Amino acid sequence: MATMSKAQRNKPSSGSHRLVLLCIVLFAFLLLLSSVISTGKLGLPYQQTLIDYFVRSPRGKRDHTLSEKYLYWGNRIDCPGKNCEICAGLGHQESSLRCALEEAMFLNRTFVMPSGMCINPIHNKKGILNRSDNKTTEEGWVGSSCAMDSLYDIDLISEKIPVILDDSKTWHVVLSTSMKLEERGIAHVYGVTRHRLKDSHYSSLLIINRTASPLAWFVECKDRGNRSAVMLPYSFLPNMAAAKLRNTAEKIKAQLGDYDAIHVRRGDKLKTRKDRFGVERIQFPHLDRDTRPEFILHRIEKRVPPGRTLFIGSNERTPGFFSPLAVRYKLAYSSNFSEILDPIIKNNYQLFMVERLVFMGARTFFKTFKEYDTDLTLTDDPKKSKNWEIPVYTMDTRKEEVS
């Protein structure tokens, strides 16, 4: 029997090669099908190629080029839990979105952004907007998700990092083209390091599918606790609010005039649990005390003179909770601007986006927790804590001065 040569032994079989190509095409088709299902329409005839699309299509606000390559990271923002009903809040999802945008920057790719964001009903109560001194409401906004472009200005983000939505015509064409390119079109790269993606054959592929665990987008990113490694500041996405939200915030700021602001986080941060001795403990031992009106007055009095307008954003829903602050300040809430907000706001995420922009326009702004060394805060408790401690309700010396 003839002996097989070394070259013949090392050469992959045509059957295995065809199997690899079939898997790639099938995966790209599944992505395409997912995108079509999410939009409810085909959007474009799929025989159209990238060249056809970019040469013949009307130009949008941002021109895409034939040389662009794409980073896909799943059809929804990282959302702890298996469905929208138990999803974390806007801040957590923004951390994941910011991470994915940083990955696209690092790889020099266009980011394929999910076209929608989940909203947990617990974060979507109308009581935050319909605030009054004598009543509250547990009525919620309709829907458990919202369109991404109702929160963010995609074109504005694209000035920093090129972005397309996963229900866009561009993405449909890119997916169709990737199937024609076969093994040069798309690669599923779960677990591959970002440096290998940038410096190997992966860099020439049209699409990199970076989909990792749907519970943790940011585990693929750099050390999230190392501020020097963060390419985008925490303020990036808040400043990328959709145009109608930015316009709404400007109208509110114009009515407020010269004002100060505080952001008071209470409800979701005041969870307690009992230890084995039955003693209640909390992760933020001073927070309940520091965010009560009498302690807020003490904390801000040296920075905010009496008689000033004080805009308050908070998830505290107890009627009249902040009324004691009126002895020193003119109080204002989002609920005072219903004529401006009601035609625009459809969920609390949109409201949070507007309130953050209003905070940015304040002469003096106190956050609840410190994020940067220069921040003014209502409490000295750290924003992140794994320790469960006994709550403190008496004044201590560390609260006497605000640096």
Q: Using 50, 70 and 90 to split pLDDT, how confident is the model at 53? A: very low
With a cut of 70, say whether residue 13 has pLDDT above it. no
372 in a structural domain: no
Same domain assignment for residues 321 and 270? yes
| Half-sphere exposure in the Cβ direction for 28 (13 Å, CA) | 28
**63: burial class by Cβ within 10 Å (0-12, 13-18, 19+)?**
exposed
Place of tokens 């394929």: 112
Same domain assignment for residues 167 and 282? no
Q: What is the pLDDT of residues 365-391, one digit of tens each?
A: 999 999 888 999 999 999 888 889 888
299 in a structural domain: yes
Same domain assignment for residues 221 and 278? no
Same domain assignment for residues 153 and 111? yes
Same domain assignment for residues 157 and 176? yes
Q: What is the pLDDT of residues 342-358, one digit of tens each?
A: 999 999 899 999 999 99
Helix (H) or strand (E) run with residue 110 in it:
strand 110-113
32 in a structural domain: no
- Please state, as a whole number, how many other Cβ atoms lie within 10 Å of the Cβ of residue 10: 7
Residue of 249, 232, 261 lying closest to 331 (CA atoms): 261
Q: Is the pTM of this model over 0.95?
A: no
Same domain assignment for residues 170 and 314? no
Number of structural domains the chain divides into: 2
Q: Are 38 and 117 in contact (CB under 8 A)?
A: no
With a cut of 80, say whether residue 241 has pLDDT above it. yes
Print the domain residue range for 204. Answer: 52-130+139-240
pLDDT given for residue 191 in this prediction:
76
383 in a structural domain: no
Alpha helices in 108-168 (DSSP H): 154-158
65 in a structural domain: yes
Same domain assignment for residues 283 and 231? no
